[in-house]
Structures are given as C-alpha cells and as structure tokens.
Amino acid sequence: MRNTMQDTSSPKFFKKSDIIIILLILLAAIGFLLWQRAMPAATTATISIDSSVRRTIDLSTAKDEVFRIDGYDNIAFEIKDGAIRILESDCHDRICVRVGFISKKGQSAVCLPNRTVVELSGDGDIDVVIS
Amino acid sequence: MSKKVYIILIPIVIIGIIIAVYALRQRDQTEWATTQDFVMDTLATQKLYGSDGSAGSELMERLSTSLSMYVDGSEIDRINSNAGKEYTSVSKDTFEIIKQSKELSEKSNGIFDITIAPVTRLWGINGKDTVPTVPKDEDIDAALALVDINRLELSQENDSVMLLDENMMIDLGGIAKGYACDKLYELYSGEKKLKAAIASFGSSILLYGDKPDKSPFNVAINSPHGENQFLGIVKLKAGKNGKFISTSGGYERFFEVDGKKYHHIFDAQTGRPANTDLISVTVITDNGAESDYLSTLLFIKGKNSLSQYMDKYGIIAVDEDNNVYISDGLKDDFELSEDLGFKLGELQ
C-alpha cells in the first residue's frame, strides 16, 4: 500500500536511475551488433562444375587441405590460410592454375575446359568483377 | 505490470526492431537469382533481382552458337565457308551485329576489323584446339592481304552477307560479348518483374535497373597485373537505360615464346598483337557493342589517343608505368586501390 502511494505520487514513471539502466542495456546491445558487423565477414568459396554447385566452404574456418571433387579427378583444389586455389588441372591453357590463391569476395578462378568455377562470396561491397 | 518489467522490456523491443530491420535487409540480398553458363569461350553469369534468368541463359546460348566461327554450321561458319562464292542468308540478329561491326570497323580506319580471322587463325591464339605459335613474316603478310572490311558486302533485302574473296573470314570475338549485352538488355527491359540485373561475360558487363536498397552497383576492375588484386572499384547507377562496361587488356590471355609475351588483341593494320603503351582500358557507355569495340580500339591506339574520347565516354585506362587516367565524370565514383603502385595520371 505504501509503495503504491509512493509510485503514484511520483511525477515521473521512471526515475533517472531507471532511464540510465535502459540506456546502458541499449548501448551494450548496439555495441554488440556493431562489433558483430565490424568482424571480418565470412568468405564462402563455392565450387561449381557444369553450372551446378558441388561444394561450399567457409574459408574463415576451413582447415588447410588438398582435395578433389568425387567424379572429377582431373582437377585439384588447395585450401591454405583461409585462401583457396586450383592446384592442378589437366586443361591445356592452365589459366585457372595461374590465378593462384584467392581470398577476397568477388574473386574467382575459372577453368573453362573443365567447366569448373571457384567463386568467393560473402557480405561486402563488390557486385561484379570485370577483367 | 511492474516498472522493473518495463525497464527490461523497452530495450528488448528496440533491439528487436533493429534486428528485424537488419534481417529484412539481409533477406533482400539473398533474393538474387544467379546463373552460370559456359558460352562465347568464357564463363557468363547473371545475377537478377525479380527473375530467374532462364530466358537470359537461353539467349546467351543461342547467340554463342550462331556467332562463333568455331562452331561447324553456325551462321558465321556458313558465311566463312561461302567466302568468294555466294551470299549467305542469316538471322536478323546476326545481320544486325555484322552491320554494326562493319560500321565500327570502317570508323576505326583499319585498326579494328572483323575480317581479321585469317590472321588470328594463323597465330592460333583464339582457336580451341590450336597451339599458339609465332608465324613467319611472309605468312602474316599473306593472311593480312585477306583482311579488308570493304570486301564484306551486306544485302539488306533478305539479310544476307558475303565475303568477296575466297579464304576471307569473319571473327566477331572482339564485339560479340558486348552485342550479347545489348540483346540481354532488350530482354531485361521487357521483363516487368525484373528490378535489377547484372550480366557478365568477364570482359563485358551489363548493369540494369536499381538495387533494392537503391545503392549504386559496385564494379571491381581486375588489376592488369593479375595477382588477384583489383585496380579499383567504380560505383555506377544503371536505371532502366542500363550501363554497359567493357575492359580490354593483354594480361589474361597470352602465350610466351622465348620469354616474349604475345597477347590476344590484334592490330588489323599489322597482323600482330597490338604494340601499345596501355595495359588496361575500361569503357563505360550506353551501348554494349560500342563499349566492347571502344575498349579494344583504345587499347590498340594507345595513350595519345585517349584524350579525344575522355569526355564523351566513361574511361578508366592504365599505362605501362601504372598511371591511371580517368574521365572527369567518373572521378568521384572511382576508388583506386592503394598500395598496388597505381597512381592517378594527367593526360597532356
């Protein structure tokens, strides 16, 4: 009874200290969201053969390895330190191998004779690359 | 409800709204449909907002087949086989691109010429099953004698085309990708639900419409030195009129003999890879075939010819000393990569 009396007699619903608590929680939450956005966005490597996706790899967490895609032994890929490359290919021009390691969104390594594409995507600014 | 509940509730509601807005924006990004097609000797991609891109893929496939000199029985192959013999009747599309190519070839004063094929064939640089070689001088001269745009005749009556001399050949490689962007633009313009599209043939790109968040398209230009770096990023608004971008550079397709590099952009006057002081030319304009043609032409003509084009088109060119020349109209929208040794240059 006494508490209720005090509440209604108070001209404001929230005390100054309450508003400070609300602001602090908000600040902490917004800070967290900003921190999350500022984190380097995960880069995903997508390997497609014959226009269909065969494997997607999160490069930020991927372990270093050399691998091939089942059924397509003529081309090998390597992941190292968050970057990926076409390591070996039986194509004649070897343009795809010459590309080397790629690690940034928008980059790609393409093997036309083997119809193989490694493409990097993720949050970021680049919509398309011209070369 | 007690006051304490509100103290917790208010921040939660506000945070909830922020997350919802953020999530909606994320959803926008995932609604882009993409396609990959192996056409025109390259990887072609589409990214579309509001359409699935199957019509575009079909169009690219069709153009790739009919416009290739390397596909047996294609329209270009038939024209080449009938060289010195008779007129070949072709489809409206093929007639249209040959007509436009002839006009542009004539405008270039012999530097750009779609009848260059006997030369490029001799070098073996663009064919699929050929090994690139450096031909003998007399062989180059013999092939060069067959290069003459004035001996390509067009007959409007039934859309037919004839190369007047035997062994003459057309190669549309220098313009077909840009032209395909023009045809895709026509297709996209007719699709009411399509809000935005990016079509890419690697060296030629079409931007169409507005992105859902109304921000400009960010186009990264590959560094002429390869190395998986970008020369820079140009921000472009496309709208319903579309924007067409083409890049020419000798760095991606080349072969080496005795330590000397030979690239794939031929000067039709010399019959040899262009001897130029530029290493990359990007042209932005409102027609695809024209952007493709101009990037090739300016690459061959070199630095001294740039100034007369800078005001009329959007141009980003790099010379062999890594000086970058940019049209005034693009300067505010272009961000040059730092730390790669490129610097802005001024034309004399």
- The predicted model gives B299-304 an average pLDDT of 95
CA B295, B313, A125 angle in degrees (round to 5)? 80
- The predicted model gives A86-109 an average pLDDT of 88
Give me the domains of chain B, ranges plus CATH numbers: 31-58+190-344 (3.10.520.10), 70-163 (1.10.3980.10)
SS3 B249: coil
- Asked if pLDDT for residue B170 goes beyond 60, the answer is yes
The pLDDT tens digits of the residues spanning A119-128 come to: 998 767 789 9
Classify the phi-psi angles of B296: left when phi > 0, otherwise alpha if psi is within -120 to 50, otherwise beta.
alpha
Cβ contact, residue pair B198, A100, below 8 Å? no
Cβ contact, residue pair B38, A14, below 8 Å? no
End-to-end CA distance of chain A: 77
- Asked if pLDDT for residue B115 goes beyond 50, the answer is yes
Cβ contact, residue pair A21, B43, below 8 Å? no
The pLDDT tens digits of the residues spanning B240-266 come to: 999 999 999 866 667 888 888 888 899
Query: Could you count the other beta carbons within 10 Å of the beta carbon of residue A103?
Result: 16
Cβ contact, residue pair B18, A30, below 8 Å? yes
- Asked if pLDDT for residue A3 goes beyond 80, the answer is no
- The predicted model gives B28-44 an average pLDDT of 84
Of A13, A21, A131, the CB nearest to B202: A131
The pLDDT tens digits of the residues spanning B53-112 come to: 999 999 999 999 999 888 889 999 999 999 999 999 999 999 999 999 999 999 999 999
Say if residues B249 and B299 touch (Cβ distance below 8 Å): yes
Q: State whether A25 and A68 are in the same domain.
A: no
- For residue A126, being part of any structural domain is answered with no
Q: State whether A83 and A114 are in the same domain.
A: yes
pLDDT at A1: 46
- The predicted model gives B220-241 an average pLDDT of 90
| Alpha helices, DSSP H, located in B124-281 | 137-144, 176-189
pLDDT at A40: 56
Cβ contact, residue pair A127, B18, below 8 Å? no
Question: How far does the CA of residue A42 sit from the closest CA of chain B (Å)?
Answer: 14
Say if residues B269 and B111 touch (Cβ distance below 8 Å): yes
pLDDT at B27: 57
Order of all β-strands in the sheet with A128-130 = A128-130, B217-222, B230-236, B334-336
- Asked if pLDDT for residue B28 goes beyond 60, the answer is no
- The predicted model gives B10-19 an average pLDDT of 81
pLDDT at B313: 97
- For residue A94, being part of any structural domain is answered with yes
- Asked if pLDDT for residue B206 goes beyond 60, the answer is yes
Element (H, E) at B344: strand B343-344
Cβ contact, residue pair A102, B228, below 8 Å? yes
- B36 and chain A: CB distance < 8 Å anywhere? yes
User: What residue type is B206 in one-letter code?
Assistant: L
Report residue A24: phi and psi, to 5°.
-65, -45
Of A18, A101, A130, the CB nearest to B3: A18
SS3 B320: coil
- Asked if pLDDT for residue A8 goes beyond 60, the answer is no
Q: State whether A56 and A75 are in the same domain.
A: yes
Tracing tokens 């663009």 back to the chain, one arrives at B126
Q: State whether A117 and A59 are in the same domain.
A: yes
pLDDT at A37: 67
Q: Tokens for B229, please give them.
A: 């770096």
pLDDT at B32: 87
- The residues that bridge with B201 in the sheet, in sequence order, are none
The chain B residue lying nearest A26, using CA atoms, is: B11
Position A5 confidence tier, pLDDT thresholds 50, 70, 90:
very low
Say if residues A127 and B196 touch (Cβ distance below 8 Å): no
Read off the CATH number of the domain in which A90 is found: 2.60.320.10
Q: State whether A31 and A49 are in the same domain.
A: no
- For residue A80, being part of any structural domain is answered with yes
Contacting residues of B for A129, CB less than 8 Å apart: 200, 219-222, 230
Q: State whether A84 and A104 are in the same domain.
A: yes
- Asked if pLDDT for residue A9 goes beyond 60, the answer is no
Q: State whether A106 and A58 are in the same domain.
A: yes
Could you give the C-alpha distances from B277 to A62, B194, B301, B314, B347, in angstroms and in order? 43, 41, 9, 20, 13
- The predicted model gives B33-50 an average pLDDT of 92
Q: State whether A92 and A62 are in the same domain.
A: yes
Q: State whether A50 and A112 are in the same domain.
A: yes
The alpha carbon of B119 is separated from its chain's Cα centroid by a whole number of angstroms, namely 22
- The residues that bridge with B344 in the sheet, in sequence order, are B324
Whole-number Å distance between alpha carbons of B52 and A57: 24
Q: State whether A25 and A74 are in the same domain.
A: no
The alpha carbon of B56 is separated from its chain's Cα centroid by a whole number of angstroms, namely 16
Of A25, A103, A128, the CB nearest to B198: A128
- Asked if pLDDT for residue B29 goes beyond 60, the answer is no
Q: Which of B261, B281, B82, B255 is nearest to B174 (CA)?
A: B281
Position B155 confidence tier, pLDDT thresholds 50, 70, 90:
very high
- For residue A102, being part of any structural domain is answered with yes
pLDDT at B128: 63
Position A10 confidence tier, pLDDT thresholds 50, 70, 90:
low
The pLDDT tens digits of the residues spanning A31-76 come to: 887 877 666 567 899 999 998 899 999 998 999 999 999 999 999 9
- The predicted model gives B220-226 an average pLDDT of 89
State the maximum Cα–Cα separation within chain B, in Å, rounded to a whole number. Answer: 97
- The predicted model gives B176-195 an average pLDDT of 96
- Asked if pLDDT for residue B127 goes beyond 90, the answer is no
Higher per-residue pLDDT: A93 or B279:
B279
Number of folded domains that form chain A: 2
Cβ contact, residue pair B14, A26, below 8 Å? yes
B3-30 and A16-38 helices, crossing angle to 10°: 20
Whole-number Å distance between alpha carbons of A88 and A63: 19
- For residue A112, being part of any structural domain is answered with yes
Say if residues A105 and A126 touch (Cβ distance below 8 Å): yes
pLDDT at B38: 92
Q: Which of B2, B7, B14 is nearest to A21 (CA)?
A: B7
Element (H, E) at B88: strand B88-89
Q: State whether A30 and A66 are in the same domain.
A: no
Query: What string of DSSP letters covers B25-70?
Result: HHHHHHTEEEEEEEETTEEEEEEEESS--HHHHHHHHHHHHHH-TT
- B14 and chain A: CB distance < 8 Å anywhere? yes
- Asked if pLDDT for residue B290 goes beyond 90, the answer is yes
- For residue A128, being part of any structural domain is answered with no
Q: Write the ipTM.
A: 0.86
Q: State whether A18 and A70 are in the same domain.
A: no
* Domain ranges, residue A115: 44-121
Say if residues B28 and B191 touch (Cβ distance below 8 Å): no
pLDDT at B125: 74
- For residue A23, being part of any structural domain is answered with yes
